[in-house]
Chains A and B, each alone.
Chain A
């Protein structure tokens, strides 16, 4: 009968496990707001820390859950009638899909316009307006921003060689030529990013579009009214090609652009002597720099200069927009907290974070580099969101990427067919 005892033991142990791991019991008094987002690990910790003042003041606990598969999971959860209270979307286009289906709460019902205008710059509020089933709604709250229009350069080598920060695009090209004449390589460019290969090129295109066209044209472009196969967009691609398709300009030559992972692309800048002197990339790139490289000491950045003075100093950026799915009193209270600079204070002070809130003072930023991003943002004559994140997924995370890969591998000679093929993927 020994065997019987074993089976009995297993069953009992099992029953105990079942009861121990049954549905989580939430204390009746405790109020919980769930937030789901794409940022993980260190960023997730910083987010949790930033929410602490709110939790201490209100007693409401904020439960953050992050996953690298956010884009897929948020779809599954909303479809499965199990949405989080709030979701932090890195792509407003994806939030737009949920707005269209009527899943997202209109924040204009919660906050009055005057309050929001006091908290945010108008361009942020404009970007949050999206078309729902019953007209335009304020679809979300901006919380984290990052600046994309940056060019990184190694110090002190850059200054030691006698180079100066270019103020216009032409000066930047002249500087590139001067570097070539000195026997240096001006640019490091790499766009490999596994399934997302090509997005680096789309950022360049967007930056150039903002610098060569009025902002209305940019908006038309991201909404599909201005096709890729138009003189405006082709001109942007050609301007990009002047730098990208010059073997003297690019470290490793043009073919290496496609095979260099975007995170490794800036590394040659830190060889000694530097193998390249300029690298255009967003404010997150220092996370990929070698350990011993410090921003401000070994590397710095300048604002990607304007091309046509008529269009001022446009800035390309990105950020997280928090869409709200459930209406409960504690969710309202939390949403209001997110609209205040206080909700970003910890993260801003921890570094690598740009607050889009008007009431986040510049002296919160821990380093000159961090403050610099915020200043670039404040001095921008126009701010626009990364266009590929605004376009429908089939284009912005599909044909635009692959089109740019084709464009680079043919050194720009197939511009017409590439632009037509990007357009062809646009959903009807």
Chain B
């Protein structure tokens, strides 16, 4: 991996090199000149996104922040293959994205756990529809349930769990599929601050353990500053990347870095970039 992680002590904040400079073999997922325009029947069309370029490097933790309605979720939908770009190219592992590519997992903001299934059956749901044999399914499900701290709730139904626990079920359900690219759409948006910090730690642990590339959409600047290798800042609609920040955190990090002086600097820098864009959004409403 060519990404050089700077030490915590390094004080400077560096904007990453222009994204087109990333070496070819390091691209994991890529958007080239992608725009997305929605044309609802009988209403004027909405230019939601782009044109944007994005190169996700293999194994990095990339966060996207931006004002509400700037097209962050549209960007995720394009990468997930849930929505085709109006113009431009979307690629995953060198192949154009058509439909949901195998190897991509998505965790949504809303609770997506199925209320009619137990935690165990929820986690096993997607895997059971694949070619994977029963013994392997069981092994992976047991591992994911243990990893997400759901062991004592394996036979419970989602309604018996808290919001944070249900989101863990959804993460475990994605984890068992062994995705190489994990897309998260504000997964902790509905949780309280303390739970969010702790879930952030779990996400970092999962990222290190799986070695997957992670793209996190969030509206929380502190979350982006704490979790990411790089943070992409998007403009108000139509969403464009106006800045990409390298955080320079080491791989081994957790929520305690919020006490590091650089965390404050990063968050301030993000807000500095976003303030004007958020004002635009506010005044447009």
Chain B binds chain A: no
Query: Which residues in A have some Cβ–Cβ distance to B below 8 Å?
Result: none
